[in-house]
Structure 1
Amino acid sequence: MTATAAARDERAMPKGRDLYVVLGALMLAMLLAALDQTIVSTALPTIVSELGGLNHLSWVVTAYLLSSTASTPLWGKLGDQYGRKRLFQASIVIFLIGSALCGLAQDMTQLIVFRALQGLGGGGLMVLAVAIVGDVVPPRERGRYQGLFGAVFGVASVCGPLLGGWFVDNLTWRWVFYINLPIGVVALAVIAAVLHATGERERHRIDYLGTLLIVGWAVGLVLTATWGGTRYAWASAPIIGLAAGSVALIGVWLLVERRAAEPIMPPALLRHPVFALGAAISFAVGFAMFGALTFLPIFLQVVHGVSPTLSGVYLLPMMLGMLLSSIGSGQLITRFGRYKIYPMVGTPIIALALYLCSALDENSTTLSMSLRFALLGFGLGLVMQVLVIAVQNAVSYQDLGSATSGVTFFRQIGGSFGVAVFGSIFSNQLAGHVADLARVLPPGFDPAAVQGNPRLLDRYPVAVKDAVLHAYAQSIDSVFFWAVPVAAARVRADLVPARGPAAGDSADARLRGGLRRGADRPVVKA
């Protein structure tokens, strides 16, 4: 990039009030995408009771995660090639269309299909919002602002279930999706008015084959996790075939990416130590976070008998913990320039919190649950956005979108795996506990139906109710227990940022390459 182009880009960066307006619109758009990963959870029992299809319950969440995951790398790469503003606007429009259709769904199949469309737009919202921060904020300030974006996840993690519960109790579950429309329109208008379009008018070669392959193996892996142990036995031909096919597609994809003119995820990026480790930790965090958030409302509504709205209130400590650690770690990174300590501390905290959650039961007090939820949120806030900061400051500006989308992609695919695997574990555990209770249950009683309507238990004797609630508590506890080893990923000592640009590089390269002042001081250090 020439010095003239660099100077032009720096002048185009919004400043002062315009910068805060842009960041506000980006956070609003990201809030939409983050909410739709959690807002549906508290409404699921009501949705199932109205539309039916209990066997497909997990797909309401998985379809969104899978679609957003598969599209994330493409959004990131296209943003690097053609500029991010127009693509960001397109992703908002797709997301809003999907939201409107979800609210109009008449059966579970329609809802799942429309959730997939919504996820397609949501994938663009997530990755492009974070990548645009890299466009409009110098590296030395990214810690402060990325911490705010991490706080958005904290707000969504609790406001999602809370809003979902309130809509179910006071309006209808369809407002879980309709609420996106006015918020999305505001974000769209602000982005159109304030954010400057960037990107040069050049012809690029889109990596269609690489995109199809990455979608293929991502879908294959999630289907393996979703169907294994539920629809098919783990050792059955369909599951073995899906797993083997996914691994084969990964191998072909890696070969294709090495030869592609403009690969969707450059091979050099995959070999980058900071990116590789960041992607691995993002997978673990996504696995733990999305899996836990899917089953915590079910635990609260079924086992403790709280309303959908109150189940969101019970999760407020998680939001407070995430807000505190995300904003605090961002401020400290901006001030001291060091980031490695946060994921090193955060991942063991997440594992400990999940282990403590695995000991919850129907007799757990509100204080006991709140402390566990707060600890889980605190650990998540220490890890999530710190990884984005590390990766953005370690790669070249030309790969900023691909790197950001890569970290988001692995977090999303981890979330898809988490929901699918946890759902399989929960179903198997519940089936086993119900079999043990067969002799005390009334004829024709289906304990699985309690998940769709917890009030069914009020019709039966106290002994039956207590037995079923205990079975649910034990089954959900197993979910958290098996999440512990996944969340216990540790950060290696070699998590260090790439060397910054040389002293002769342009001002733009020094700014975006991660230098705080001069040419020899990286904005973030191990």
Structure 2
Amino acid sequence: MDHRHVLRAMSGLLIVLFMAMISSTIVSVALPQIIGSLDGTQSQYTWVVTATLLTSTASTPVWGKLADLFSKKRLLQIGILIFTLSSLACGFAQSAGQLIGFRAVQGLGLGALQVLVQVVIAAMVSPKERGRYNGYLGGVMAVATVGGPLLGGAITDVSWLGWRWCFFVGVPFTLLALVMLSRTLHLVETPRPETRVDYLGASLIAVSVSLLLLWVTFVDTEFAWISWQSGAMVGGAVLLGTAAVLVEARVREPIVPLHVVRRRDPALAIVASLAVGMAMFGGAVFLGQYFQTGRGYSPTEAGLLTIPMMTGVLISAAVSGRLVSRTGKVKPYIVAGVIALTLGFLVLSTIDHQTSLVLVGAGMFLVGVGVGMAMQNLLLVVQNTVSLHEIGAASGAITFFRSLGGTMGVSVLGAVLAHQVSTRIAQGLAAAGIDPAGGAAGGSTLNIDAMPPAVREVVQAAYGDATGNIFLISASIAVVGLVATLFLTPTKLRDSLDLAPAGAEPDADAAAESAEPAGVRG
């Protein structure tokens, strides 16, 4: 596909990716009203988020592998239909239980769209040219991540819309994208005879990951870190994960190709992606809470205050993507991105409830620059090392680990934040001579506006001051990602869609010249 046809197809792909990403963040502000109107419980409040998270993360590598075995375009269309129909069902849910079930189905579609969009792009353009298109992807992800809560708050605040439109709003756009892709996406698919789907490996991976995510979600709230529940969940996840590795090492068509993730560069890219995933998810979650609970801003104002981070992602993703396509070099931009990410977290680690918004904005901008330069380029590192018939499984693997890292990071940082906030509130109330058992400061949900001024000041200071500590943890984890990126091989991206034929020169440049770019094999 030439540049003009790629751009036409990219329009539909970007719409799909935007609606998929925004579905994860648009309900965050509206959740209290959603659960309240459906007479749900606090446990169901958590499960509305967890259900989508579990199914999307666990299904990502499965969709990636299916893209290697079957038609990429057809699978993408199926994923769009699953996502669209489940979004409609969520909007019409009449109970919290129904909503949780529909959100789980929506997660299956979300997992498909997140990885298949990137797989389709990999089947259209070579790794070197993919850089500038990945800049568009990074920008879309940034806008969706930061703009989702802002849009959700605005929709919920409009009386004639209401929370159900948080699910309905994406349906027309996904249907439009489905029509656009049916007309503009043309891939030359070569069917692979005698393909076998590794159902056992897929099941083991899904169950082991689900157990691990369930433990991360409920530890320190429903049960202690050291308890029989923790032992059962973590032990079960390890056993099932070990079994999955043994299965994947023996089957003909593994869901996660171990020979790929064992290589130096893909393994290092996965480690770095864990840190970037934590930045992408954790930054938006805890910064939004910092502005609302720690500084007293409204949801809409909090969304506007996170614009510096979104701006950093948009600029760095676009600029670095074009530079990667122009030079064919990717490692310098990844390293620079992770350095910016670390510096941004270090700046944010100094904030409290009185920090200048200029300093907070500077830290957010650096974090955004880091995410924009590193996130999609790390995927390029992995895609550049595999042949076209493995591009789906490889893309699914790194997307899976990035989502898993982000999920676990948010949960762990959330647990640390909750512990520090409760301690600081108790100390602040005691210092002010206020009885902590009075009810205003207790509980996991805090209605700041309903509190007496003295209590409100203590609670806001606790949240504002504790948030900086979790960003110090994020900076430490980002350093691990930086070390991983420093050891990446400084190779040039190939110009061809597929790897060089067997027997060709192993050098990256020679391989790029000898590979035939014509035809998309799948």
Q: Name the TM-score, length of structure 1 as normaliser.
A: 0.88
Aligned-residue RMSD, C-alpha: 2.8
Residue 317 of structure 1 aligns to a residue whose secondary structure is helix
Could you tell me which residue of structure 2 aligns to residue 294 of structure 1? 285
Could you tell me which residue of structure 1 aligns to residue 87 of structure 2? 99
Instruction: Please give the per-residue CA displacement for 1:47-101, whole angstroms capped at 9, x wherever unaligned.
Output: 4554553355444333322211100111011111012111101111111122122
Task: Quickly say closer, same or farther: Cα 1:16–1:287, change in 2 above 3 A.
Answer: closer
Could you tell me which residue of structure 2 aligns to residue 377 of structure 1? 368
1:406 correspondence with 2:400: no
Residue range with higher mean Cα deviation, 72-81 or 285-294: 285-294
**Aligned mates of 2:499, 2:444 — CA distance in 1:** 67
Task: Quickly say closer, same or farther: Cα 1:494–1:378, change in 2 above 3 A.
Answer: closer
Could you tell me which residue of structure 2 aligns to residue 44 of structure 1? 31
Task: Quickly say closer, same or farther: Cα 1:373–1:451, change in 2 above 3 A.
Answer: farther
Could you tell me which residue of structure 2 aligns to residue 184 of structure 1? 174
Residue range with higher mean Cα deviation, 386-395 or 341-350: 341-350
Could you tell me which residue of structure 2 aligns to residue 485 of structure 1? 476
1:351-362 to structure 2, matched below 5 A, reads 351-362=342-353
**Aligned mates of 1:264, 1:63 — CA distance in 2:** 22
Q: What count of residue pairs does the alignment treat as equivalent?
A: 502
Could you tell me which residue of structure 1 aligns to residue 520 of structure 2? none
Residue 41 of structure 1 aligns to a residue whose secondary structure is coil
Residue 319 of structure 2 aligns to a residue whose secondary structure is helix
* Residue identity matched to 2:270: A
**Aligned mates of 2:511, 2:250 — CA distance in 1:** 36
Could you tell me which residue of structure 2 aligns to residue 174 of structure 1? 164
* Residue identity matched to 1:416: T
Instruction: Please give the per-residue CA displacement for 1:469-519, whole angstroms capped at 9, x wherever unaligned.
Output: 112223433332322222222213243559979x99569x99xx9879624
Could you tell me which residue of structure 1 aligns to residue 329 of structure 2? 338
Give 2:129's match in structure 1, choosing from 112, 135, 141: 141
Deviation at 1:120, TM superposition (A): 0.8
* Residue identity matched to 2:388: Y
Residue 121 of structure 1 aligns to a residue whose secondary structure is helix
* Residue identity matched to 2:15: L
Deviation at 1:155, TM superposition (A): 1.5
Instruction: Please give the per-residue CA displacement for 1:438-491, whole angstroms capped at 9, x wherever unaligned.
Output: 65157642436684644223xx1x221101111222343333232222222221
Could you tell me which residue of structure 2 aligns to residue 26 of structure 1? 13
Q: Does the CA contact (< 8 Å) of 1:31 and 1:153 recur in 2?
A: yes
Q: Name the TM-score, length of structure 2 as normaliser.
A: 0.89
**Aligned mates of 1:441, 1:45 — CA distance in 2:** 27
Q: Does the CA contact (< 8 Å) of 1:298 and 1:451 recur in 2?
A: no
Instruction: Please give the per-residue CA displacement for 1:260-298, whole angstroms capped at 9, x wherever unaligned.
Output: 121111221121222111111112211232122222222
Give 2:409's match in structure 1, choosing from 390, 395, 418: 418
Task: Quickly say closer, same or farther: Cα 1:22–1:39, change in 2 above 3 A.
Answer: same
**Aligned mates of 1:415, 1:196 — CA distance in 2:** 33
1:267-286 to structure 2, matched below 5 A, reads 267-286=258-277
**Aligned mates of 2:74, 2:454 — CA distance in 1:** 60
Residue range with higher mean Cα deviation, 471-480 or 215-224: 471-480
**Aligned mates of 2:149, 2:118 — CA distance in 1:** 24
Structure 1: runs of 5 or more not aligned:
1-13
- Report percent identity of matched pairs: 38
Residue range with higher mean Cα deviation, 285-294 or 184-193: 285-294
**Aligned mates of 1:504, 1:344 — CA distance in 2:** 25
Q: Does the CA contact (< 8 Å) of 1:318 and 1:373 recur in 2?
A: yes
Q: Does the CA contact (< 8 Å) of 2:329 and 2:493 recur in 1?
A: no
Could you tell me which residue of structure 2 aligns to residue 4 of structure 1? none
1:112 correspondence with 2:107: no
Give 2:112's match in structure 1, choosing from 101, 124, 145: 124
* Residue identity matched to 1:149: L
Task: Quickly say closer, same or farther: Cα 1:365–1:515, change in 2 above 3 A.
Answer: farther
* Residue identity matched to 1:285: V
Structure 2: runs of 5 or more not aligned:
518-522
Residue 29 of structure 2 aligns to a residue whose secondary structure is helix
**Aligned mates of 1:427, 1:246 — CA distance in 2:** 25
**Aligned mates of 2:493, 2:321 — CA distance in 1:** 21
Q: Does the CA contact (< 8 Å) of 1:58 and 1:423 recur in 2?
A: no
Could you tell me which residue of structure 2 aligns to residue 223 of structure 1? 214
Deviation at 1:366, TM superposition (A): 2.7
Residue 42 of structure 1 aligns to a residue whose secondary structure is coil
Deviation at 1:159, TM superposition (A): 1.8
Task: Quickly say closer, same or farther: Cα 1:441–1:188, change in 2 above 3 A.
Answer: farther
Residue 486 of structure 2 aligns to a residue whose secondary structure is coil
Task: Quickly say closer, same or farther: Cα 1:61–1:359, change in 2 above 3 A.
Answer: farther
* Residue identity matched to 1:328: V
**Aligned mates of 1:281, 1:484 — CA distance in 2:** 13
Give 1:195's match in structure 2, choosing from 165, 170, 185: 185
